Amino acid sequence: MVVLCAFIAGITFAQAKAPAKNWTPPKTAWGDPDIQGVWTSDDSFGVPFERPHVYGNRKFLTDEEFAEREKENKLLASSIEAGVTPNAGYWRQHEGVDYQPYSSSWSEYARQTSRQTSLIVDPEDGRLPELTQQALMLRLAAIAASRRKPRPESWEDINMFGRCITRGVLGSMLPVMYGNGTDILQSPGLVVIRYEMIHETRIVPIDPPGHPHPHLSAGLRAYMGDPRGHWEGNTLVVETTNFIGGRVGIGADGAGLKYSEDLRLVERFTRMSDRSIQYAVTVSDPKTFTAPWTVEFPITQEPGYQIYEYACHEGNYAMADILSGARAEEAKEGAQPAAK
């Protein structure tokens, strides 16, 4: 659930590269950098995951391009009241999406957007590296299977997010149309990261300087992996391994190409001001991608933003509706006379 909050101006990626002048990063009572609070990636919603080719290697929009993006966001924000349809052509050409954007009845758009041309900042072109031969074959096999089986036959054919199980680490951080809250809590030796959607909480042990703790054995794996954290100056660095492979994708809400059990994430949380943290994550998966790649964007605080219970399983009528609808369509097709 999302609380509709008062609008505040979001920081841009360029602004977040250096802390505000005359600002001192806060500390906890035990002396660690303080990154606690409820943060949201709402300011980066609408920024393409991969950079559209039209921008080349440019990481930021020009003033004219930024004005056009803001215009489209304002159109989306007022689409219901204004009686207009979102401009799919703009979003396809400039933001690299292949879908019709949701109207304001389903999402929140009335925010200042980022100037980033993509969430991926490395490689230089802002696009995913080439797939390995193994990953390419798995992808082609998945496409072929979806063509043979266009409808879900069981609950196993519905993705992990649709089943209210997990979105994965990266899928939980990437901005989507609502529910982008991340609650960070700290205690001596621990950082806790709680996500608004689904129901997942990561408990990150913090290694003391010079005494890193090893990860769990390779036989112990989890959808959110096994995290280990340490401080580098004012930056929290979290390395996560021991993922369950082949179940969750690397895109928003855990969609997209599924990562392997060799996935390794290195996240960085850097407090930049009272209301902003710069978030970055480097993805390494040698069975899936031919090179590592990095996503980066700010997460900010909004007055009044709260995280409520996300009782996904209790109201997940979609599971029954999707499967019963598929069976109904099959029955209808089976009742039709064969074409002559």
In the block, tokens 């399983």 appear at: 313
A 10 A CB-CB count for 315 gives 8
Per-residue pLDDT of 134-191, as tens digits, reads: 999 988 988 888 888 888 888 888 899 989 999 999 999 999 888 999 999 999 999 9
pTM: 0.85
- Integer Rg of the chain from CA: 21
Residue spans of the domains in the chain: they are 34-43+120-330, 61-115
Give the Cα separation of 336 and 334 in Å (integer).
6
C-alpha count within 13 angstroms, C-beta hemisphere, residue 334: 6
What is the per-residue pLDDT across 229-267, written as a single tens digit (0 to 9) for each? 999 999 999 999 999 999 999 999 999 889 999 999 999
Name the residue among 242, 259, 41, 226 with its Cα closest to residue 160: 259
User: Cβ neighbours of residue 323 under 8 Å, at least 6 residues apart?
Assistant: 152, 154, 155
Going from the C-alpha of 323 to that of each of 32, 37, 152, the distances in angstroms are 50, 39, 7
Q: How would residue 25 be classed by pLDDT, with cut points 50, 70 and 90? A: very high
What is the pLDDT averaged over residues 289-304?
95
The span from the CA of 135 to the CA of 139, in Å, is 6
3-state class of 333 per DSSP? Answer: helix
- Terminal-residue alpha carbon distance, the chain: 52
Residue 2 in this model has a pLDDT that exceeds 50? no
